[in-house]
Structure 1
Amino acid sequence: MITIWAPDGVGDVGEGDDLAAHLLAVTHDGADLADGDVVCVTSKVVSKAEGRAVAVDRAEAVARETRRLVARRGSLSIVVNRLGLTMAAAGVDASNVAPGRVLLLPDDPDRTARGLRLEIGQRAGVDVAVVVSDTAGRAWREGQTDIAIGAAGLRVLDDHVGRVDPYGNVLAVTAPAVADELAGAAELAAGKLGRRPFVVVRGRGDLVLARGDDGPGAAALLRPEAADLFGLGARDAVVAALRGSVQDRAAYGAPAEATDLRDLLAALTGAEVSHDGERLVVSGRDPRARWVAEVAAYAHGWTTRVVDDLTLRVVPSPPPSAGG
């Protein structure tokens, strides 16, 4: 059985506050906590305690926190922020802060989770896991849910690969993101307006690691850019392909297979496309066909080089870190 509760009585959290003290104050000096519990804390109070409320324009704050634009529609932007999280407005929050200020995400949520876990263990004598949660939207779905942006002492991913289901099927890709599931469950107990930033989840001690083992943290849930099939928005992918900059290349993932690209280029351009070792050769004089080949090759992780008026050579692009 899983039990979830959100203690009342947490007052306003300010810069420099001791979050462990706030938690222990509403859990009777930790007497309400037990080994194997998971303590979830909202990123908002973590940010406040860490002094991440800043007096800057929200747009400026979003720009500072952005590593790469994923999609933009009017004033709404989805970006990969400095933590590697893909979020609306880089996770910058303008609610529940003084006018003229915005709240940035914690500097290092995994580090915060590790520190809070250590303090709870030392002061209350219990071995708990800690999750730092934040609210995020989901592709293809309306609404938002809480996810784990920081974690300590927790198996954040429950990998089922190799296990066998009741019908004898060997599982190949199933891997519940249990840290996110715990964050979402915690939000149900806390609510958005209840002023209950701490939630205790009991009943999943099997996911809690031994004292001293903090695990990989929530950063382990970040999908590598080269493995992300949706690294750009639909319109934004078209614009990025036309722009063809080195900075956008990683969003298209690993280079496509040569045979797949060969068939695509032939279909798009009507030109003769041959496969010569590790390169493709596009032959033809049509300027438009050559331009289409260049754009399509870029979007598939390949680089074009003009050989002469008749020939366009296409080779796999080097990773951006290797100089593009």
Structure 2
Amino acid sequence: MPAIITVIPVKVNGDIAPKSDLGSTILESLGANGIELQDGDILVVAQKAVSKAEGRIIDLAKVKPSRKAIRLAKELHKDPRIVQLILDEAREIVTIKNGIIITETRHGFICANSGVDQSNLARDNAAILLPANPDSSARRLREFVKKQQNRNVAVVITDTFGRPFREGQTNIAVGVAGIKPIKNYIGKKDMFGRKLRVTEIAVADEIASAAELTMGKSAGIPVVLVRGYEFEHVSRASVKDLLRPKKQDIFRHTGNR
């Protein structure tokens, strides 16, 4: 019989303060919600909570837009300071269409506006960036839990991305620790004995999406505990395993501006 997987929301009182101790906040919130960690649990943490704790909030008054940012902002009817942050966080502009700048971020993610966001911020005139290294952020949280509670858990850091071939957004993994983010079925047999040739399951993304169902956007739930999923443990996991090489990306446009 398949295992029962449980998705448990973890309410955090108040907003995550810049430069705060996110690991302690998470453990305190688990305790306040009457949740005791077990080995094999997966902690799913919203990117914005990580970015806030790591001080990735930018005061727009201190951003000086370049000529390129000013030109693009005028074309797209955007704040030139936001456009400058998008350019700063981008490794490459993939395409610009329908008022949206699609970039490849410094991390290798293909997303709108380099992940630069202004929602759910207590401060006006500010923007928040993705963590500088989400895999490292996830590893620090995992190691903190191990040190404080001697529990062997996995950590998945998530963000909400759009998709080029479907409407709506979905949560995906942007950082992982302790869990192999992709499950490879190539060479195994299906239920009728046929050998699988291309099937790989993005388990970290599926965990992220399941967690999003309980997070919401304004419910004060930046942390979710997933319990009961038997995942493959790895000591040096990386979300890079989920990034498709540019030469294999049939949806990607190369006509940059």
Q: TM-score by structure 2 length?
A: 0.86
Mapping of residues 242-257 of structure 1, within 5 Å:
none
Distance, in Å, in 2 between the alignment partners of 1:19 and 1:214 is 21
Unaligned runs of 5+ in 1: 244-324
Aligned to 2:169: 144
Distance, in Å, in 2 between the alignment partners of 1:31 and 1:125 is 15
Unaligned runs of 5+ in 2: 61-80
Aligned to 1:65: 89
Larger radius of gyration: 1
- Indicate yes or no: 2:36 matched with 1:12: no
Work out which of the residue numbers 41, 47, 53 in structure 2 matches 1:43.
Answer: 47
Work out which of the residue numbers 57, 60, 81 in structure 2 matches 1:53.
Answer: 57
Distance apart, 1:31 and its partner CA: 5.5
Query: Alignment partner of 1:106: what SS?
Result: coil
Distance apart, 1:229 and its partner CA: 1.5
Distance apart, 1:74 and its partner CA: 4.1
Distance, in Å, in 1 between the alignment partners of 2:187 and 2:244 is 21
Work out which of the residue numbers 109, 113, 124 in structure 1 matches 2:138.
Answer: 113
Mapping of residues 144-293 of structure 1, within 5 Å:
144-204=169-229, 206-209=230-233, 213-232=234-253, 237=254, 239=255
How large is the RMSD of aligned CA atoms in angstroms?
A: 1.6
Distance, in Å, in 2 between the alignment partners of 1:34 and 1:153 is 14
> Do 1:14 and 1:49's aligned partners in 2 also have CA atoms closer than 8 Å?
yes
Aligned to 1:251: none
Distance, in Å, in 2 between the alignment partners of 1:169 and 1:144 is 34
Aligned residues: 232
Distance, in Å, in 2 between the alignment partners of 1:208 and 1:4 is 18
> Do 1:39 and 1:129's aligned partners in 2 also have CA atoms closer than 8 Å?
yes
> Do 1:58 and 1:94's aligned partners in 2 also have CA atoms closer than 8 Å?
no
Distance apart, 1:10 and its partner CA: 3.2
- Indicate yes or no: 2:7 matched with 1:22: no
Distance, in Å, in 2 between the alignment partners of 1:31 and 1:145 is 26
Query: Alignment partner of 2:147: what SS?
Result: helix
> Do 2:187 and 2:196's aligned partners in 1 also have CA atoms closer than 8 Å?
yes
Spell out structure 1 runs of 4+ moving beyond 6 A: none
Distance, in Å, in 2 between the alignment partners of 1:23 and 1:10 is 10
Q: TM-score by structure 1 length?
A: 0.69
Distance, in Å, in 1 between the alignment partners of 2:41 and 2:208 is 13
The amino acid of 2:240's aligned partner reads: A
Distance, in Å, in 2 between the alignment partners of 1:168 and 1:28 is 47
Distance apart, 1:230 and its partner CA: 2.1
Identity %: 39
> Do 2:120 and 2:218's aligned partners in 1 also have CA atoms closer than 8 Å?
no
Per-residue CA deviations over 1:86-118 (Å, capped at 9, x if unaligned) read 000010001122111100000100000000000
> Do 2:6 and 2:228's aligned partners in 1 also have CA atoms closer than 8 Å?
yes
Which 10-residue stretch deviates more, 25-34 or 179-188? 25-34
Distance apart, 1:200 and its partner CA: 0.2
Aligned to 1:103: 128
Is the alpha carbon distance of 1:9 and 1:81 closer, same or farther for their aligned partners in structure 2, counting shifts above 3 Å?
Answer: closer
Distance, in Å, in 1 between the alignment partners of 2:133 and 2:52 is 13
The amino acid of 2:171's aligned partner reads: D
> Do 1:10 and 1:197's aligned partners in 2 also have CA atoms closer than 8 Å?
no
Aligned to 1:314: none
Is the alpha carbon distance of 1:31 and 1:124 closer, same or farther for their aligned partners in structure 2, counting shifts above 3 Å?
Answer: farther
Distance, in Å, in 2 between the alignment partners of 1:31 and 1:191 is 20
> Do 1:148 and 1:180's aligned partners in 2 also have CA atoms closer than 8 Å?
yes
